[in-house]
């Protein structure tokens, strides 16, 4: 077991949670009292992390939202990264994928500079676009396989492409540091993936705003006696956006606790 997977499992045990929380500076997610500026987002995420640190095992940074803020977004990204507790698992949701020489730089940026424990990677350029990430064998690389967006039907879900990607990645992953992204919106496909890759960690988005079926998803994660780590991701489901309350962070904490209860109930065979 590599260092990143061990850290993820330790975080899940210590927090009693399989939940990953999204970090996305977006005006639509803010609660009253915080401005949609780098300073406002910085203040908000400080409160957000304080409210969730005991109730989630991981934080997933969506880099696109930071990049959209320009130079200030880069500073904000690293500032918020510094707020995350050392024992929490950090995912750089970058979905990078390019030729080998470029992929090597992407991997260094995410793993070496940002110090993420994991990153999301697009495999559509093939083996040389993924191997530079797998070379960081103390990290966990989540490869896009069965995504939760409607456009997945165009390529990943057509002609079993997603499953063929998974099988290829398993062949490339000689040091056991790869996992997969599979959406909760298609639990029957997730079950099939778990049968193909029973020991690989899986990152599962699509439970919140995309209305994935939690019970069916948890059942699918057990397909084929799979034992790979499971990480369930929620972003908008933790943000009480537009709610006028004197204590928005208490609402965020309550939302995280309710998600943990729902996940625990759905995890019972």
Q: Which residues of 165-203 are buried (b: 16+ CB within 10 A; e: fewer)?
A: bbeebbebbeebbbbbbbbbbbbebbbbbbebbeebbbb
| Helices 71-81 & 38-52 angle (0-180, nearest 10) | 20
Q: Which residue of the set 95, 104, 139, 258 is catalytic?
A: 95
Q: Which residues of 2-35 are buried (b: 16+ CB within 10 A; e: fewer)?
A: bebbebbeebbeebebbbbbbbbbbeebbbeebe
Q: Is 104 a catalytic residue?
A: no
Angle at 265 between CA 263 and CA 269, to 5 degrees: 105
Residues annotated catalytic, as ranges: 95
């Amino acid at each position: 077991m590599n260092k990143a997977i061990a850290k993820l499992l330790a975080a899940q045990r210590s927090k009693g949670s399989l939940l990953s929380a999204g970090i996305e500076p977006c005006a639509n997610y803010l609660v009253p009292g915080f401005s949609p500026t780098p300073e406002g987002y910085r203040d908000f995420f400080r409160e957000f992390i304080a409210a969730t640190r005991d109730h989630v095992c991981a934080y997933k940074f969506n880099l696109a939202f930071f990049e959209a803020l320009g130079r200030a977004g880069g500073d904000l990204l690293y500032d918020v990264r510094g707020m995350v507790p050392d024992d929490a698992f950090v995912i750089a949701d970058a979905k990078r994928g390019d030729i080998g020489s470029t992929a090597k730089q992407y991997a260094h940026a995410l793993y070496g500079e940002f110090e993420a424990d994991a990153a999301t990677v697009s495999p559509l350029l093939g083996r040389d676009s993924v191997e530079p990430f797998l070379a960081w064998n103390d990290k966990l690389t989540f490869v896009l396989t069965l995504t939760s967006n409607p456009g997945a039907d165009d390529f990943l879900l057509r002609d079993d492409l997603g499953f063929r990607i998974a099988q290829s990645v398993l062949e490339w992953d000689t040091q056991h540091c790869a996992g997969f992204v599979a959406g909760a919106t298609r639990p029957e496909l997730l079950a099939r993936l778990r049968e193909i890759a029973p020991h690989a960690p899986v990152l599962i988005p699509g439970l919140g705003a995309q209305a994935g079926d939690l019970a069916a998803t948890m059942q699918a994660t057990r397909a084929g006696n799979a034992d790979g780590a499971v990480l369930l991701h929620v972003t908008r489901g933790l943000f009480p956006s537009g709610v006028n309350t004197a204590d928005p962070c208490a609402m965020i904490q309550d939302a995280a606790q309710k998600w943990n209860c729902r996940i625990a109930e759905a995890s019972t065979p």
